[in-house]
């Protein structure tokens, strides 16, 4: 069987004007992934990446590490199928309905971009409304549309690359959870809940053939743990 590795990007810049860039911690996490694969001699037949800067820069760390050691690495292929959903648009679209149902939420708005716990609680509530499909808003991507885009992209690269290949996809937690959903036939709510557990710079591995996908490893962070620095273990 062929193998598909999906790597979540390093930590992004939470609370900054431009979230879509690696924080200093995210840069270090990406470098650790790259050095780990160099150390174990991981050979990759194709590398795909979404179009978001945090994804591209995480993939770039791998490319740099391989080139530094003169290890052959294929050209990175950009594919928007592996972009994260526009969480800011989804959140903003769901917020008015949430405030109608619970007016006390308005008191927490000042803290959502500085307090990670407050943000996470409100964000999870918004995403659960989105996943339900009952609160879709015009002009905002639907959960169904997002999942279909990701699965179409995965199926396409598997078909294009063929058998006995090892593929790497640098992406985000949302697309990774959707592919796990496809492999395990998870419910939508379980898929969203699973996405919260996917850590920065983690590696999720699948095996695949013409019949479909099988999950072989989820949310692996051994490469980060080997650094003996708990600050490297982040979710956002």
pLDDT of residue 113: 67
Task: Answer whether 170's CB lies under 8 Å from 58's CB.
Answer: yes
pLDDT in tens, 30-56: 999 999 999 999 999 999 999 999 999
Task: Answer whether 171's CB lies under 8 Å from 55's CB.
Answer: yes
Same-domain status, 111 and 200: no
Same-domain status, 224 and 113: no
Residue 212 lies in a domain: yes
Same-domain status, 201 and 100: no
pLDDT in tens, 183-201: 999 999 999 999 999 999 9
- pTM for the whole structure: 0.92
As given in the structure block, the two tokens for residue 209 are 């053939």
* Pairing between β-strand 166-171 and β-strand 76-78 as defined by DSSP bridges: unpaired
pLDDT of residue 122: 87
pLDDT in tens, 164-176: 999 999 999 999 9
The CATH number covering residue 6 comes to: 3.40.50.1240
Residue 143 lies in a domain: no
Domain with 32, as residue range(s), is 2-84+165-232
Same-domain status, 98 and 115: yes
Same-domain status, 120 and 187: no
Domain tally for the chain? 2
Output 69 or 102, whichever has higher pLDDT: 69
pLDDT in tens, 7-20: 999 999 977 778 89
pLDDT of residue 107: 73
pLDDT above 90: residue 141: yes
Same-domain status, 127 and 199: no
Same-domain status, 96 and 23: no
As given in the structure block, the two tokens for residue 110 are 């000042």
């Amino acid at each position: 069987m062929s193998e598909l590795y999906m790597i979540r990007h390093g930590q992004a810049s939470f609370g900054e004007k431009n979230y879509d860039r690696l924080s200093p911690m995210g840069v270090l996490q990406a470098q650790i992934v790259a050095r780990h694969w160099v150390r174990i001699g991981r050979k990759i037949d194709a590398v795909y990446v979404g179009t978001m800067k945090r994804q591209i820069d995480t993939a770039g760390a791998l490319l740099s590490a391989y080139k530094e050691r003169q290890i052959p690495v294929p050209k990175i292929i950009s594919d928007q199928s592996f972009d994260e959903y526009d969480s800011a648009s989804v959140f903003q679209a769901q917020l008015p309905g949430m405030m109608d149902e619970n007016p006390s939420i308005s008191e927490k708005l000042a803290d959502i971009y500085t307090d990670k716990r407050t943000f996470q609680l409100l964000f999870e509530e918004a995403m659960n409304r989105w996943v339900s499909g009952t609160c879709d808003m015009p002009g905002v991507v639907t959960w169904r549309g997002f999942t279909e885009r990701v699965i179409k992209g995965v199926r396409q690269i598997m078909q294009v690359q063929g058998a006995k290949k090892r593929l790497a996809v640098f992406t985000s937690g949302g697309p990774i959870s959707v592919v796990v959903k496809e492999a395990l036939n998870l419910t939508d709510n379980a898929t969203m809940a699973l996405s919260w557990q996917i850590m920065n710079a983690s590696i999720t591995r699948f095996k695949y053939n013409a019949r479909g996908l099988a999950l072989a490893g989820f949310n692996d962070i051994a490469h980060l743990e080997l650094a003996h620095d708990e600050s490297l273990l982040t979710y956002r």
